[in-house]
Chain A
Amino acid sequence: MERRKFVKNVGLAAAGSIVVPYILPSGRLFAKTGSRQAKHVVYVMFGGGLRNQESVQQRYLADSQNEFHSDNLDIEGNIMPNMFEGAAPDAKIVYGEGQKGEIIQPPLLSTPLAKQGLLFPETRSFTSSHYAGFVSLLQGNTLATQGLRQKPLHPTIFEYLRRHAGEPASKVWFIGHSINNSTPLMNHSLHADYGIEYGANFFAPPTTFGDAGINTYESSKIYHPEEEMPHIYKMKHFLDNYYQNVGRKLGELGNTEEEKHQIKTFMKDLYKNRQGSSVLDASIRVLREFKPTLLAFSIFGVDTCHGDFTGYLRALHNADRTLARIWQEIQSIPEMKDNTVLIVSPEHGRNLKPNPIRDQNDWYGYDHSDDNAKRVWSLMAGPGIPQGMTIGGEGDTRGTTNDCVPTIAEILGIKNEVMGSGLLHSQSRSFLDQI
């Protein structure tokens, strides 16, 4: 009898160990996903549009200003030393600190990310519009019907990840640079099969942790998670169920009560210490607190290029340091070190020819509307990514911004589900399949 009981228990334990991994937090049984190349992905989206010429091609002022000035501005050089390998410009230094931007700090990384990973120096964006580019980077598709201040029409990588891999909401984050235009709408799509219940947590740090957030949330109570919140939720559930009888129910992001408590406590800590009001700082603190499976964040400073080319160069240089700080932070978190892939891509580029607006250095600005504004690049580094490899180059375009989603999906083990959804652009495929 004892033997029978033992065999039965062993059988149940074995069955449980097989089944349990495929039960999502929501309680649903789900199909097995592929193996993961890394446990975490940090996805950096350059908003605002940056030219390949001043970034990956390291042409500094040579391609942008020299043609239009009597001074010799045929100056080349790398102003993003943490990302790309190459010598800095040797004259007309304006992109650093100090009153004239002449003070340049040494790179934070001893080896540039491109040398640590894989670079696609010449890829394409299907759009040269702000936000439409972001949406493409998040949904792996570029839809002509996508409007401004409208949620993505196709699922985002956040939704694919939460639905197909069963990631909890607190493991999927989008940190946006502001609450303007479409940014706060991009944490989930309107797609009927995905939507809010699979969305990402979102902060816009300048607002969430700036004056508006401080004045609104800092003094909020955190009700006791076991003695007070359960009463609120029980009464709310009764009221919601009663109201649902007449057909009304609001979708929710799906943070559990424990996750909500963790997020509230996290926010209160940042208010107490007056931290988190920049995208970089908030992203670092989200990394430390939640160790997210996917953290996407946007940087937007380069859009000054419309009328302040000098400010654009500084924004490029600052963005380079931001990325280096993020990479350093990833390597300092034991759970994420050597287990995180960093992916970087601009949403779109900028024009080949300048507009008539000149800045304090008499340098011309650039808009984003021509074919050059669809030239971008992509960079990735981390476990499983080939090191020091460059695919394509000027005149040899490889890949598009729509390829970032299937790449993330491959790294996080849901490639088949995402590719099989039929909702990506018809030419989208993982960068890792283009090597």
Chain B
Amino acid sequence: MSMPNLPRLINKALLFVFTFSILVACKKETSNTVYELEDISALPASAGKIKLKSEEQYVAVLYANFFQKAISIDRLKQTTDAIYSVGDKQLAYEMVVSNFMNDTDINIPSDSVLTFGSEAELEEFLNETYKRFYVRPISEAEKQWFKNYLTNNKDVTVELIYAAFALSNEYQFY
């Protein structure tokens, strides 16, 4: 091997090292780094509710939500007949809801949770209300809106909140 080939060998070696280092340097990062983001669904939990409750279903579920027990067949029949007999269904539902609210057997939380409770207790009340009526967890946006509304309107009662949920569109779907 003659000496003049030495620089060429050195050049080849350098080129190999350079190329190898480039390839190694550009290797895709495969570490399991987590950036504090949680997996979320593209659609909210309410998106699965697409079927409108019949009048019978609405009244039966509403009664169970308010009284924590099943409605009697006779009362269910009379209530749904009365709903059929009024053209403005929303108005009929408003009267049914307020009629249940007037029943001494109704089982709803006391207003103290709104007036004397801590923020954590208020959040717990909202969580429970969403589960009770919508069978789903409350979203952050909903929680914030209700906290703001209830903070700014001290005269709102649990009864009015429950009435709003019972009359809302989402409650009429399943």
- Residues in A lying within 8 Å of B, measured CB to CB: 169, 174, 179, 184, 187, 199-204, 207-208, 211-213, 215-223, 227-228, 231-236, 238-240, 242-246, 248-250, 252-253, 255, 260, 263-264, 267
Pairwise interchain contact A227-B78, C-beta atoms closer than 8 A: no
From known contacts A215-B78, A235-B160, infer whether A246 and B47 are also in contact, taking CB-CB under 8 Å.
yes
B84 at interface by CB-CB < 8 Å: yes
Q: Can you name 16 extra interface pairs (CB under 8 A) apart from A213-B82, A216-B79, A243-B46?
A: A187-B87, A207-B85, A212-B77, A216-B78, A216-B99, A217-B99, A220-B95, A231-B153, A235-B161, A238-B149, A242-B141, A248-B169, A253-B90, A260-B90, A260-B91, A260-B94
B170 at interface by CB-CB < 8 Å: yes
B3-61 at interface with A (beta carbon < 8 Å): 43-44, 46-47, 49-50, 52
Pairwise interchain contact B85-A203, C-beta atoms closer than 8 A: yes
Pairwise interchain contact B161-A202, C-beta atoms closer than 8 A: no
Pairwise interchain contact B168-A204, C-beta atoms closer than 8 A: no
B125 at interface by CB-CB < 8 Å: no
What is the distance, in angstroms, from B124's C-beta to the closest C-beta of chain A? 18
Pairwise interchain contact A264-B95, C-beta atoms closer than 8 A: yes
Pairwise interchain contact A207-B168, C-beta atoms closer than 8 A: no
- Cα–Cα distance between A255 and B85 once the two chains are bound (Å): 16
Identity of the chain A residue whose Cβ is nearest the Cβ of B91 in the assembled complex: A260
In the bound complex, residues from chain A placing their C-beta under 8 Å from that of B153 are 231
Contact of A236 among B46, B91, B167 (CB under 8 A): B167
Pairwise interchain contact B99-A232, C-beta atoms closer than 8 A: no
- Cα–Cα distance between A236 and B146 once the two chains are bound (Å): 11
Of B44, B52, B87, most A-chain CB atoms within 10 Å: B87
Pairwise interchain contact B88-A245, C-beta atoms closer than 8 A: no
In the bound complex, residues from chain B placing their C-beta under 8 Å from that of A239 are 164-165, 168-170
B107 at interface by CB-CB < 8 Å: no
Question: Top 5 A-B pairs ranked by shortest CB distance?
Answer: A202-B87, A235-B164, A216-B82, A207-B85, A220-B99
- Cα–Cα distance between A220 and B163 once the two chains are bound (Å): 12
B68 at interface by CB-CB < 8 Å: no
- Cα–Cα distance between A232 and B82 once the two chains are bound (Å): 22
Identity of the chain A residue whose Cβ is nearest the Cβ of B141 in the assembled complex: A242
Of B46, B79, B85, B142, most A-chain CB atoms within 10 Å: B85
Pairwise interchain contact A184-B84, C-beta atoms closer than 8 A: yes
From known contacts A179-B84, A213-B82, infer whether A220 and B91 are also in contact, taking CB-CB under 8 Å.
no
Pairwise interchain contact B164-A174, C-beta atoms closer than 8 A: no
Pairwise interchain contact A199-B87, C-beta atoms closer than 8 A: yes
In the bound complex, residues from chain B placing their C-beta under 8 Å from that of A250 are 52, 90, 169, 172
> Can you show 24 pairs from A to B with CB atoms below 8 A apart?
A179-B84, A184-B85, A203-B87, A204-B85, A212-B77, A212-B79, A215-B78, A216-B83, A220-B96, A221-B99, A221-B101, A232-B163, A240-B168, A242-B170, A243-B169, A248-B46, A248-B50, A250-B169, A252-B89, A253-B89, A253-B90, A255-B90, A260-B90, A264-B95
| Tally of A-B Cβ pairs under 8 angstroms | 152
Interface range on chain B: under 10, 10 to 19, 20 to 34, or 35 or more? Answer: 35 or more
What is the distance, in angstroms, from B166's C-beta to the closest C-beta of chain A? 9
Can you list, as one digit per residue, whether each of B146-174 has a CB less than 8 Å from chain A (1) or not (0)?
10010001011000110111011110110
Identity of the chain A residue whose Cβ is nearest the Cβ of B47 in the assembled complex: A246
Identity of the chain B residue whose Cβ is nearest the Cβ of A253 in the assembled complex: B88
From known contacts A199-B87, A211-B78, A239-B170, infer whether A219 and B163 are also in contact, taking CB-CB under 8 Å.
no
Pairwise interchain contact A255-B91, C-beta atoms closer than 8 A: yes
- Cα–Cα distance between A203 and B88 once the two chains are bound (Å): 9
B102 at interface by CB-CB < 8 Å: yes
Pairwise interchain contact A264-B168, C-beta atoms closer than 8 A: no
Pairwise interchain contact B170-A248, C-beta atoms closer than 8 A: yes
Pairwise interchain contact B85-A208, C-beta atoms closer than 8 A: yes
Of B43, B75, B88, B169, most A-chain CB atoms within 10 Å: B88
B111 at interface by CB-CB < 8 Å: no
- Cα–Cα distance between A249 and B165 once the two chains are bound (Å): 15
Pairwise interchain contact A174-B95, C-beta atoms closer than 8 A: no
- Cα–Cα distance between A267 and B90 once the two chains are bound (Å): 15
- Cα–Cα distance between A242 and B164 once the two chains are bound (Å): 13
What is the distance, in angstroms, from A267's C-beta to the closest C-beta of chain B? 8
B96-138 at interface with A (beta carbon < 8 Å): 96, 98-99, 101-103
- Cα–Cα distance between A228 and B24 once the two chains are bound (Å): 70
Pairwise interchain contact B88-A252, C-beta atoms closer than 8 A: yes
